Every structure is written in structure tokens, then in C-alpha cells.
Amino acid sequence: MARRQKNPKERFSYLRELVTEFQDTNSIEAKEQVLANLANFAYDPENYIHIKELNIVDLFLDNLEDKNENLTEFAIGGICNLSLDKNFKQLIYKRGGIRKVISCLSSEREETVLSAVTALMYLVSPESKNDITTAPVIDCMLRYQDSDNKRLSNLATVFLQDYCTEGQIQNAKFLSSTYSNTQSSDSGT
């Protein structure tokens, strides 16, 4: 509750200090902690004006493809937290964020994948839908739908039901089976 009562100038100063620390430190642990904190701040709409002014979206986007899996996980968490806001949704799209979020679907980390699937659902708009509901993404969701992980399976099911047409799903299945057949015949020669 005390955080809500913070003066907007104090919020801005604190967020600016975090961004500066992230940029200036050579400590991986410090970068991870700062990015995790920024992702948490991205959850609160009261911080949106400061996040926009400090270009924190770009900081998250820059770390989506980092080799450090912790940084990637925190960055996709921040993107996910901002993706429901129409202004951030548009900004993420214009900055090439869809491709970067999609790249997180192949992560070994459960939380990264869950945040990526959720972010993609939040990022769907008339402008971005064709970039999100591609055959490879749908194929990925079809595989996740069969996962033993109920959270992942349920999210993938919602994605397929709410954002994809039956034709898109059938096309993805066809392309996947064609690719699988090509791969198995190539390996048999």
C-alpha cells in the first residue's frame, strides 16, 4: 500500500535509477535483479507514463534474445505485463517485438514460455494478428496443447480457440506433417 502513495516524481526517479544501474553495472546478478524489479513495476499502470518516458520497453525488447535465460525471463515478464495496454501493444509491435516474443516460445524455461504465450495473446490486434497467427506459431501451440504441463496446455488451447481459425490450424498441421515427412525421408537416404 505504501508504494501506491509514492509521489510520482519519486517513482520516476527510482525507475530512472534502476535503468541507469542496469546500463552501468557489469554485474550479471545486479542486471538480473534490476530487470526483475522493472518487470514488477510494469505490472502497475501508475508507472506506465514513467516506463514510456524512460524507454523501458526497449530495455525489455533488447533482452528478449539475451543468452542469459534469467534476463530473457524477466524481460518477457515485463513485456507481458505491459502488453494489455493499447499504447504499449502498439509500441511493442512497431519496435519489432512480435518476432522477439515469438522467439521466446522455444525457451527451455516454463515461465518464459508461459509469459510469451500470454504476451502474444495480449498483443493480438488487427494490425498484428497475421504476424502472430503464423503456421509455425500455431504448430508450436498445437504441440504445447498436448503438454503434460496443464498451465501451458490450457494457455495454448485458449490461444488456438480464441485467435486462430480452423483453416489456419489445419494448414499448420498439414505443413508440420509435410515437413516431418520430408525430414524422415531425407534421413532415410
Nearest to 44 by CA among 16, 70, 5: 5
Nearest to 57 by CA among 75, 31, 40, 45: 75
Look at residue 43 and tell me whether its pLDDT is greater than 60.
yes
pLDDT at 2: 44
- Indicate the pLDDT class of residue 176, thresholds 50, 70 and 90: confident
Look at residue 122 and tell me whether its pLDDT is greater than 90.
yes
pLDDT at 178: 77
Q: Which residues contact 117 (CB under 8 A, 6 or more apart)?
A: 105, 141, 144, 152, 155, 156, 159
pLDDT at 7: 79
Q: Which 8-state DSSP code applies to residue 6? A: S
Place of cell 495454448: 156
pLDDT at 182: 59
Look at residue 185 and tell me whether its pLDDT is greater than 60.
no
Amino acid sitting at position 40: N
CA distances from 145 to 20, 139, 152 (A): 41, 10, 7
Whether this model's pTM surpasses 0.85:
yes
Average pLDDT over residues 82-86: 96
Write out pLDDT tens, residues 4-36. Answer: 556 778 999 999 999 999 999 999 999 999 999
- How far apart CA 39 and CA 64 sit, in angstroms, is 12
